[in-house]
């Protein structure tokens, strides 16, 4: 597509100017790199990586590392480095979307404040062809950072997102599924 061609040109220019490390948020994006042998390509957090098999596939495709899904239970996040064929990173804090979609109801506009039935605010942000639905609270695994380091994590990502002015300040943070046991 036109957007992919634009990105491929931007990437080519960055590499020509000496860039070596890139974070890709969809595995297919590796196709935007004509020659990735001398690059440090990491699969980003939106790849939602959750197991060694998926990580092995990415290694076979040429990825040098991966940021795992922060949606896993803490026990699963901590055990993943033991079986991973790649160096791992994790999102340590920042806004994490409830949903990433290509479509949204026509009445929902970017920056719109949405109230849940429990009166919890959330908001929608459109970025290119994607729509992100964010809760009005952020992921925060900073209390687990030492434990994550001991487990083998080497990269800790901090996400930032400019919120619409209508969105009130968050009243809490969340460790998402850290304390849960997922099946």
pLDDT tens digit string along 136-171?
A: 999 999 999 999 999 999 999 999 999 998 888 998
In a domain, 136, yes or no: yes
User: For the chain, what's the residue count?
Assistant: 183
pLDDT tens digit string along 73-112?
A: 999 999 999 999 999 999 999 999 999 999 999 998 898 8
In a domain, 180, yes or no: no
In a domain, 21, yes or no: yes
Q: What proportions of the chain, in percent to the nearest 5, are helix, strand and coil?
A: 30, 25, 45
In a domain, 183, yes or no: no
pTM of the model: 0.91
Q: Say how far apart CA 70 and CA 175 lie, in whole Å.
A: 9
Residues with Cβ within 8 Å of 71's Cβ and at least 6 positions away in sequence, in order, are 48, 50, 96, 176, 177
| Pair 20, 40: CB distance under 8 Å | yes
In a domain, 109, yes or no: yes
Residues with Cβ within 8 Å of 159's Cβ and at least 6 positions away in sequence, in order, are 45, 91, 93, 94, 95, 96, 139
In a domain, 179, yes or no: no
| Pair 89, 158: CB distance under 8 Å | no
In a domain, 62, yes or no: yes
Range of the domain at 20: 2-174
Asked if pLDDT for residue 1 goes beyond 80, the answer is: no
Q: Say how far apart CA 58 and CA 84 lie, in whole Å.
A: 11
Within its chain, how far is the Cα of 176 from the centroid?
Answer: 14
| Pair 69, 49: CB distance under 8 Å | yes
pLDDT tens digit string along 20-52?
A: 999 999 999 999 998 888 999 999 999 999 999
In a domain, 182, yes or no: no
Residues with Cβ within 8 Å of 95's Cβ and at least 6 positions away in sequence, in order, are 134, 135, 138, 139, 159, 160, 161, 163
Question: What's the pLDDT at 16?
Answer: 96
Here the tokens at position 3 are 């957007």
How many structural domains is the chain composed of? 1
């Amino acid at each position: 597509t036109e957007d992919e061609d634009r990105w491929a040109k931007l990437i080519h220019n960055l590499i020509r100017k000496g860039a070596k490390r890139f974070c890709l948020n969809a595995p297919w994006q590796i196709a935007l790199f004509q020659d990735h042998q001398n690059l440090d390509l990491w699969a980003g957090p939106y790849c939602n990586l959750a197991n060694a098999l998926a990580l092995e596939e990415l290694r076979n495709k040429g990825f040098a590392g991966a940021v795992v899904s922060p949606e896993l239970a803490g026990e699963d996040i901590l055990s993943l480095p033991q079986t991973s064929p790649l160096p791992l990173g994790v999102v340590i804090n920042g806004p994490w979307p409830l949903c990433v979609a290509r479509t949204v109801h026509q009445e929902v506009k970017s920056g719109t404040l949405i109230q849940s039935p429990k009166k919890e605010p959330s908001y929608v942000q459109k970025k290119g062809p994607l729509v992100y639905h964010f809760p009005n609270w952020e992921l925060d695994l900073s209390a687990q950072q030492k434990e994550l380091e001991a487990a083998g994590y080497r990269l800790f990502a901090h996400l930032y997102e400019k919120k619409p002015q209508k969105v009130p300040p968050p009243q809490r943070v969340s460790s998402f599924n850290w304390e849960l046991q997922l099946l």
